[in-house]
Structure 1
C-alpha cells in the first residue's frame, strides 16, 4: 500500500508540473456557432469534445445526444437519473441500495456493489467519475452534456462498453458574470443554484457555483398515512481557477463535490416469493408475511420498518488539467484527478414493517487516483491522439442487514437476525491508447484506434453473523467437512471456504485486453456525413458484496466484451432548419455480467455474479430537429432495440435450471421515444413569452433474464409542460412547469428479494415556478 501511495504522489506531482506547461479553454470556453439573430430560424451548431478535440457535432462520426445547460434546467434534469428523458436508448434503474444504474442501448450492469465499474462511464470535463455512486451530482452550471453511444473504450477507457456521459462545465472567463436559478414546486421542492465568475488578473480567472435541492416527504405509509417519508437534502458545489499565461498555455484547477442527506426511497411490496416453508418456524413466518397488505398502485404509497432510512454520503473530486501547445499543430495534455467518496446509509428493501431484508447500515469508502498524459495532433488531413492512463482505487464496505422475519432466517433450527457483509478491494489499471483520422482526397476519412489495458483486482471479503448464524454455520461446516469445526465466534467470518471451513475469502483477478476501432467517414458536402464503424470494447471483471454462506458466491465475473457494428448519417437540410441524424447498429455481446442465482444448502436461492456467454443486440435510432419558422423549435428522437440471449443456462424463478436462449436482455425496452416542442413569441416589447412540452415513452421491459411476471416493467408515457417569459436581453426568465402532468403511475425497477416482490415507483405529478437571472 505504501508503494502505491508513493507512486500516486509522484504522478500527481509530475502532472502538476506538466500542467503548468499546459488547453482546456480555462479562460475562454469553446465557442458555439450561433444563428445571426435569436429571432431567426435555424439550428445552432454546437462544438463538442467527443474525440478529445474541438469539433462541430455534425462532423463527428458517432451517435451523440446533446443537451445544453439551459435545456437541462427547462426540462427539470437534476441528476444523472433524469437524463433518460433527453436521451433515448438510455435507461435509469435504482439498484438495491438506491444508487443509479445506467443502461445504454441495452448495455448495462445491474450491480450495486461499491467499487463495481459501470458500463456507461461518467466524466467531468474528461476527468473520470469512475463509479456511479459518485455520479449523483454535476448537473448544474453546465455548458452542455454529451452522451456518446456505443463502445468508447479507445479514448474513454475500457469500461465504456455502453457509452460515455461527459459533463462540460461552464469555465472561468476573463469578465465578470453571475447568475442564479431558483424553483419551488410540489412537496416543497426547492432548488436554488448560483454562480459567480470573477477575473483575477490579466491571465487568471475564478468561478464558483453552488446548488441545493431541498424537498419535504413525498411518500406516505399506506398502513399509517400520517407517517411520511422521502425528503431530499442535497448540496453540491464547484470552484475553479483558470490560468492562461499565454495563448498556448492553459491550466484549469477544479474542485467539485456534493453532500447527500436525503431519505432513501421507500419501495412497494407487490407479492410474495417464499424462500422456504419446509419447517414449522418458516411456515409461521410466511403466514405473518401473508397478512401484510400489498401496496396500492399509487406512486406515493409505500411502507417501511422502524429504523432510520436515510443517507449521509459525500463526494469530492479535485482535478488539474493543463494543455501546452508544443507547436501550431501539437498539444500536450496532462489530466490528474483524485476522488474521495464516503457513504453511510440505511434502506428498507422489502417495503414492509417486518424485517424481511432491511439494510440497517452501509458504511463504505472509495479513494481513487487517475493520471492521463496525451499528445494531440491536428492537421489538414491527419488528426491523431496518443496517450497513457494510470488508475488506482481502494474500496471497502460493511453492510449490516437484518433478516429476522425472513423464512430463511433460520439455520438448522437456529433463528438468526443480523448478517454483516464486508469486503476490501484494490484496483490497479494501466493503459495506453492511440487514435487517428486520415482524410483521403476531399470527402473520405479513415479512422483507426487501439487501447491496451492491463488491470489487477485484489479482493478479500466474507459474511459475519450473530450468535444464531455463527452456531448454525459451525454445525453446517462440521457436517460438510466431515470433521469438527471450532465454534465460530459471533462477528467472525462464517463464509465456508473450499475446505468447508469458515474464513475470509481472498482472491485476485488479473486481466488484459486490446480494444480497437476502425471506421470510414464520407462527407459528400458540408451538410452531409455518412459513417460506418466497427469497434471492439471491454469492461473489466468485478467482485460482489452479498450474504455469502459459501465462497463460490464471492467468485468474480470476468471481463465482458462487445464487438459493435454501426452505420449512420447526419444531414443538415433546408438552410439549417432541419437536422436529421440516424444510425443502425449490431452488437456481438460476449460474457455479459449479470446478477444470477445459485442454490446453496439451507439458504436456498442466493445471488451471485455470473457471465452470460453470448448475447446480441440489434437496433436503430433516429434524431430529428426542426426550426421551421421563427420562434418554433421541434425535436424528436427514437431508439429501437431487439436483444436476445444466445447462450446461457441458469436458475430461473422456480429454482430449476433453465436454458435462457431467446430471452431478452433486462432493462431493454424495444421502443424509447422522446420529443420536445417550444414556441417563443418575438417582437412583443422587451419580453419573449414561450410555451413548451416534452414527452418520453418507454415500451415494456423486464428486470430479470427469465422474464417472470414479477419482473415486468410496464410501458409508460410521461408528459412535461412549461410556459413563461424571458426578457429580450435574456437576463431574466420566469416560468411555470408541470412534470408528469397526466400523473402516470409507472415504476423503474421490479425485483424479488428474499420472500417479497417489490418495485420502485416513480414520482407523481409535480408542478411549480422557476426564476433565473444573469448579470455581467
Structure 2
C-alpha cells in the first residue's frame, strides 16, 4: 500500500500555490534580500567558479541571501533544506546528515562516506557531510546548484553542489551583533567585526553560540528531557592585497558541538530471526515487548540512561569539533586571465552517543562512537578574461583523506542476548566495529564557453578523476566474557571443521563466508586472503577512475529570456560501509555509480523586471546507484548492506516564480515533481523477505511533490522605521525510508505506525513580523517555525527487534534583536 497524508490533499497549501500562480521560493529568498524599487534585483552565483548573473547561466540554482537567512532564523542546512524544493534532509541515527537533491542522495551513516551532493565554503570542500553541521552563519548567500556538477565540482556531485559564500572582510569598519531568545530557553548570540587593518590588509572575525534546553520528553520518566543544545562556531578571515594583481584570503574556521543527539521514537516491533525463534517470540525480551509505542507527537521519545558497555551515563550526547584552515591566492596575468590556488587542511574529531531504538532499554543503542577525519585539499586553476567571447577554465586538484571511526553497539536487551544465551551459551550483547580508510583523489579538468554569436553560447567541460580508497574494517568484542567473539569463532570452526578455540581479545571476528551464497546452500568464501570459515579483518583497496563531461547550449531569445539545454555524465566514488555483521561479505564496497543526465530549461524576466519565471525539466539515467539495502545475516538476522542498484532513473520538472506586484511586496513559489524509480534490482526487503523484485519501487527519500510558497511585505511606519512581515508554507508529499517501504514487510508487527517505513507527507508553515531601521542598522522581530506544530519525520530506521523514526522539531518561536555599526 501507499501511505497518503491527508495534508497532501489539504487545500491550504494548494490554494496558496494557485493564488500565487506558479512560483519559486528558491530565487525568492534572494530576491527578497535584494529587491528594490526598480523591480526584482539581480542574483549572482558562482556555478562556473566565477561570479555571474543567475539569469545568464544555463543551470538550475536556488540562492538564499544572507539577510533572508537571518530574517527566517535559518541556522543550519537542515533548515534550508526544508525550504528549498528538491532538496531533502534525513536525520541519520548516528547524527550524520544525509542530503538528497532532485532524488539524488547517498544514505550512508559512516563519517567516511563521500556524499552525492558536494558542499563547499568559498570553493573549499567539506568533503564529508558530518563536517557541514555548523557552517550556516555570517553568510553573504547560500547557493544550491542542481543536477550533476562533476566537471567543475568533482566526482561526488552527481546530485549537485551546495556553496556557502561567507561574508568577506570589508574596506570600511563594520560590526554587528544579534541576540535571540526562544522556546525551550533557546539563546543564540552572533556577532562580527570587519574592517581594514592597514593598507591592502582587511580582516573579519565572526562567531555564533547556541544554547537551549531539551525538547524531547521521555515516555518512561516524566520530567526527563533530551535534545539540549550547546554549540560554538567561529570564522576568521584575513584578506591581503599587496598589489592590484595579487590577492590572498586566509580563512580559519571551526566549531564545537556539545549538544545531546536526537533520540528515536519507538513505533514497531520486528519478528525475530527465524533461526532463533520457534515459536515466534520465544526469546523476546518481555521488557521490550511491554514498552509502549511512542505517541504521534513530535516531542515523544525515550532513551537510555546507562549502557552495559559503559555503565551509568545518558546515552544521547555529543562532544565533536572541527577546524579548517584555507588559503586562496589569485594572481592576475596581465589582461589575459587569473591563476587561482586553493589550499586547505581540515581536522574533525567525534565522540558521541546515540539512542536509535527509542526505548529506555539497550535494545539497540550506540553508546559511544569515536572518530576523526583529516583532509588536505589543493587546487590550481587558470581562468581567462570572463569578458572574452571564448571563456575557459583549466586546472587540477588533489585531495588526501584519512578517516577512522569506531562504533560501539549495545543490544543487551535484545532477543539476540536471550536467544544465543539459551541456544549456544553465548548471550550476545555488545559489538565494536572499526573502519580505517585512507583516500587519495586527483583530477584534471577543463571547462569552456564560446559565444558563437551574440545570443548563442556553446558550453563544454571534461574532468578525469583517479581515486584510491584503502580500507581496513574490523569487528571486535570489547567486553568480557567475549560472547560475540566466542560465538563467531565457534561458527567459523564449524565451517572449517576444526576444534573451537576461545576468542582472544582484540581479534577481528567476522567470518570468511559469503552469507548470501550460504543462504542458497553454497559454501563460498567472501575474500581470497583467508581460508573459508576463518575469522579476520576485511581489507581491500578500491581503485577507480572516470571521465565526467558536460555539453550544452545557452540561447538568449531576448535580453531577458534564456533557453538552455545540458547533457552531462557524472560519477560518485565507491564506498565502504561501517556496519555490524558476522560475515566479511557485508563489508564489500559499493563501486562507483554513474549518471547520464539530460536537462532543458527556461529563465524569463518579464514585465519590466517585476516577474521572474523559471522552468526546468530533467531525466537522469543511473547505473550502479549506491543504496543501503538489507541482507539476512546467518547469525544476526536482517542487517544493512551497501549495494549497487543495476539500473534506476529519475525524471521530473521544476517550476519557479517570483513576482513583485508592488514596491512593498515580493511573492515567491516553487513546485518540484519527481518520479524516481528502481528499474532493475532483486534483493531483500526490510522484513527479511528475499528474492523481492524491486522494479518500479520508488527510490527512498524522494517525495514526488514539493511546493514552497512565501511572501515578504515591507511598509514604512515612519520616515526611519519600517514594518516587515514574512511567511513561508512548505509541502512535501510522502516518500519511503527504505526500498519497498511502501508495503509493510511480512515480519513487522506495528500497532500505531501505519505504513512502517513510510515518511508521511506534511505541511510546515513559518512566519516573521518585526520592525527595522530604514538604513537596516537595527532590527527587532518575532519569528516562528512549524507554527502549526505539525508532526512529521525525516527518517525511519530498523534495529534488531525494533523500528523507530526521527521526528521533526515541534513548533518553535522567539524574539531576535540585532544591531550593526557602520
> Which bracket does the TM-score occupy, shorter chain normalised?
over 0.9
Q: 1:329-728 to 2 correspondence within 5 Å? A: 329-377=336-384, 378-409=386-417, 410-411=419-420, 412-465=424-477, 466=479, 467-497=482-512, 498=525, 499-655=532-688, 656-682=690-716, 684-707=718-741, 708=743, 709-728=755-774
Q: Does 1:255 align with 2:262?
A: no
**Post-superposition CA distance 1:503-552 (Å, at most 9, x none):** 11211100000000000010122211100000100000000111121110
Please state how far the C-alpha of 1:90 moved relative to its aligned partner.
0.4
Q: Which moved more, 1:554-563 or 1:326-335?
A: 326-335
The answer to whether the 8 Å contact 2:629/2:738 transfers is: no
Q: What TM-score do you get using the length of structure 1 for normalisation? A: 0.94
Which residue number corresponds to residue 320 of structure 1? 327
CA contact (8 A) 2:82 2:89 kept: no
Residue aligning to 1:26: none
Q: Could you say what secondary structure the match of 1:226 adopts? A: coil
Q: Distance in 1 between matches of 2:92 and 2:356?
A: 10
Superposed, which structure 2 residues align to 1:17-56 within 5 Å?
Answer: 40-56=37-53
Alignment pair present for 1:290 and 2:267:
no
CA shift for structure 1 position 34: 10
Gap regions ≥5 residues in structure 2 = 1-28, 307-313, 513-524, 526-531, 744-754
| Cα deviation, residue 327, structure 1 | 2.2
Question: SS of the residue aligned with 1:471?
Answer: helix
Matches within 5 A, 1:141-160: 141-160=138-157
Give the SS at the match of 2:468: strand
RMSD of aligned alpha carbons:
1.7
Measure, in 2, the Cα distance between the counterparts of 1:474 and 1:380. 69
Query: In 1, distance between residues paired with 2:548 and 2:554?
Result: 20
Q: Provide the rounded CA distance (Å) in 2 between the counterparts of 1:299 and 1:430.
A: 45
SS in 1 for 2:484: helix
CA contact (8 A) 1:35 1:42 kept: no
Q: How many residues align?
A: 745
The SS at the match of 2:788 is coil
SS at match of 2:203: strand
Verify the 8 A CA contact 1:539 1:559 in the aligned structure 2.
yes
Unmatched segments (≥5 aa) in structure 1:
1-31
Distance 1:319 1:671 in 2: 39
TM-score (norm 2): 0.89
For residue 736 of structure 1, what is the aligned residue in structure 2? 782
Q: Secondary structure at the match of 1:283?
A: coil
Alpha-carbon distance in 2 for matches of 1:772, 1:185: 15
The CA deviation at 1:80 is 1.2
Quickly say closer, same or farther: Cα 1:33–1:391, change in 2 above 3 A. closer
Contact 2:184 2:212 in 1 (8 A): yes
Give the CA deviation at 1:166: 0.3
Match status 1:266 vs 2:312: no
Shift of 1:246: 2.0
Q: Is 2:318 the counterpart of 1:311? A: yes
From the superposition, tell whether residues 510 and 37 of structure 1 become closer, same or farther in structure 2 (CA, over 3 Å): closer
Output the CA distance in 1 between the equivalents of 2:82 and 2:492.
Answer: 51
| Structure 1 residue 665 displacement after superposition | 0.3
> How far 1:39 moved relative to its partner?
6.0
CA distances 1:404-437 after superposition (whole Å, capped 9, x unpaired): 1111235434102110111110000010000000
Contact 1:41 1:628 in 2 (8 A): no
Change (3 A) 1:611 1:37: closer
- String of CA shifts for 1:204-248, please: whole Å, max 9, x gaps: 011000001110111110222211111000110000100112222
Instruction: Determine which structure has greater relative contact order: mean sequence separation of CA pairs < 8 Å that are 6+ residues apart, divided by chain length.
Output: 2
Q: Distance in 2 between matches of 1:189 and 1:261?
A: 15
Output one character per residue of 1:587-614: Cα deviation in whole Å (capped at 9) or x when no partner.
0011111111222222112211111010
Q: Secondary structure at the match of 1:421?
A: strand
Where 2:112 maps in the other structure, the secondary structure is: coil
1:356, 1:141 → 2: CA distance?
42
The answer to which of 577-586 and 412-421 deviates more is 412-421
What is the deviation of 1:349? Answer: 1.1
